[in-house]
Structure 1
């Protein structure tokens, strides 16, 4: 079992990497890191001594003072090297750099020089080092106005704001989970490369991405419709967009009921894609679910009875409660990386319709069981 430590563990890429490593408990042991360790040599040394692999992600991307960015990023790389030297570590060290390296700015310069600092240490000590040169990363839970324009636009479109394009150029993109899989592959068997150029998985104009996001707002956020999804990029972009919705205030969404003397009619879901639709009954007091997905899009629609749907992001203690009643049919969509459950809290059978965007495949289930209530 390899022991993996991640500086910047609580950052955008770091949190995705940390959570994904947790899906392989028999292969990896995660060594926790806190940013305060950079200011406490003995704590940093203890961390380094435990690690077989260190993924150095800690850095500053944006700040009002470019010189501060430069000095901070160089300083973090140097502190890590100093600790590696003090402890005599032979860990495989990976560092995230950026395609900004070749641009005339202090951020890019800091990433290139930080990568070289670690390369020099590895060369002098016979250690393995990988310098990941990464294009623009997007994905769920990125920090708006900081991590990417996609995070910013998605946040704005789900919070009543209007995005504006400053420069409509082509952008090389990679989804955060695609990047994480590359890092894990390198952890498993990489030979180390001072310059490991991570290829983008999509190249899009800013206006093209915004057109997709505007479509998601109109169809999904405002209308409840699952939009057309043609490829993996659009799937990843849609899941990214969904992660910025204020779930506590947006859900549950009540259906529009059409009634006449015969009874009532409700449209449960309108789809631009296929998937699997199922129906369940649940007796009083029983809970279903307690699992999460990393890619699947899922909707729970209560049409009869009373239900409590609960969601919890797997690295959070906050539980979101949604009470649904079949007398006013409504739905809640499940965000990725949130464990979720549905409980019959009424006195009659609960009738629920479930839709998910892909049929269940036991060999690639994307279903991980974690209790909502810790």
Structure 2
């Protein structure tokens, strides 16, 4: 079992890496990191001394002063290196650098010099070092107006704002889940590579990405339709878009009922993709679910009875509660990395339609069990 610590654990890439490592506790043990460790040499030394692997992600990307970014990022590397020396650590250190290393800006310079400082440390002690040059990363929970144009577009399109394009160039992209797999592959390889270029998994013009996101807004956000998703990139982009929706105000979405003397008719889902449709009945007071997915797209549609659907983002405490009643059929879509459940809170059978975009595969279920609330 490898003990892994992540500086910048609560940042965009850091939280995805931290949560992914947590899915296989039989292989990896997470060593907790806090931002203020960099201000306390004893706490930093204690952290470093526990780690077999340290992934250094902590860095500043945006500030009104480029000089401040440069100074901050170099100081973080210097403090980490000093701790490695004090503790005589032989940890495998991985450093998140950027394809901006060769650009004429102080952020790129801070990344290049930081990588070189850690490479020098590793050489001097016979340690293992991986310097990763990473293209533009996108994915759920990235901060808008910070370091990803995709995050900014997604936020604006889900909050009644209009995105604008500054420069419509081609951008090399990698999804955060794909980057996490690259990091884990390098950890498992355990060999020094001072300048490892992480290849992008997609290349698109900014306008092409915006066009796809605008289609998601029109079809999905405005009309509830699951759009066509023709590639892994499009699935990842769609899941990224969904993560910026304010779930507490957007859901549940009530269906349009067509009622006459024969009864009622409700259209449940319009699909531009395939997948699997299921139907269930649930007896009163019984709860289904309490699991989460890292890639699957899923819809819960309550047709008859009363239900409580609950969601909680992994690593957080806030629980979102949605009350649905079959007298006004409605649905809630499940975001990735949110554990979720559905409970029959009525006195009759609960009838629910489930749609998910993948057939169930027991060899790769993408289903991880975790209770939404602590009272279960």
In the alignment, does 2:325 pair up with 1:325? yes
Structure 1 residue 190, shift from structure 2 partner: 3.1
Deviation at 1:147, TM superposition (A): 2.7
Q: Deviations over 1:306-333 (max 9, x none)?
A: 0000000111000000000000000000
Equivalent in the alignment of 1:22: 22
- Once the two structures are TM-superposed, the CA of residue 4 in structure 1 deviates from its matched residue by 0.2
Q: Which residue of 2 aligns with 1:87?
A: 87
Residue 197 of structure 1: aligned partner: 197
1:362 aligns with 2:348: no
Partner residue of 2:45? Answer: 45
Aligned equivalents of 1:187, 1:15: Cα separation in 2: 17
In structure 2, stretches of 5+ residues that fail to align are none
Between the aligned partners of 2:10 and 2:192, the Cα distance in structure 1 is: 25
How far off is 1:132 after superposition?
A: 0.4
CA contact (8 A) 2:173 2:203 kept: yes
SS of aligned partner of 1:20:
helix
Distance in structure 1 (CA, Å) of the matches to 2:271 and 2:317: 33
Q: Which residue of 1 aligns with 2:97?
A: 97
Contact 2:9-2:33 at 8 Å conserved across structures = yes
Q: Which TM-score applies when normalising by structure 1? A: 1.00
Decide which moves more: 187-196 or 297-306.
187-196
Aligned residue pairs total 374
Preserved CA contact (<8 Å) 2:92 2:190: no
Across the aligned residues of Structure 1 and Structure 2, the Cα RMSD in angstroms comes to 0.5
SS at match of 2:193: coil
The residue correspondences of 1:5-84 to structure 2 (distance < 5 A) are 5-84=5-84
Which residue of the partner structure matches residue 222 of structure 1?
Answer: 222
Which residue number in structure 1 is paired with residue 273 of structure 2? Answer: 273
Answer yes or no: is the 8 Å Cα contact 2:128–2:190 preserved in 1: no
Q: Secondary structure at the match of 1:116?
A: helix
Following the alignment from structure 1 to structure 2, what is the Cα–Cα distance between the partners of residues 142 and 92? Answer: 27
Whole-angstrom CA distance in 2 between matches of 1:147 and 1:288? 38
| Runs of 4 or more consecutive aligned structure 1 residues displaced over 6 Å after TM superposition | none
Q: Deviations over 1:45-79 (max 9, x none)?
A: 00000000000000000000000000000000010
Q: Output one character per residue of 1:138-167: Cα deviation in whole Å (capped at 9) or x when no partner.
A: 000000001300000000000000000000
1:249 alignment partner in structure 2: 249
Structure 1 residues without counterparts, runs of 5 or longer? none
Q: Distance in 1 between matches of 2:300 and 2:46?
A: 46
1:236-289: CA deviation from partner (whole Å, max 9, x where unpaired)? 000000000000000000001111111111100000000000000000000000
Q: CA deviation at 1:189?
A: 1.8
- In structure 1, C-alpha distance between the alignment counterparts of 2:47 and 2:266, rounded to whole Å: 56
Task: Give the aligned partner of residue 261 of structure 1.
Answer: 261
After superposition, give the CA deviation of every residue in 1:312-357 in whole Å (9 maximum; x if it has no partner): 0111000000000000000000000000000000000000000000
Q: Distance in 1 between matches of 2:365 and 2:61?
A: 35
Larger deviation: 260-269 or 234-243?
260-269
Instruction: Please give the secondary structure, in 2, of the residue aligned with 1:96.
Output: strand
SS in 2 for 1:195: strand
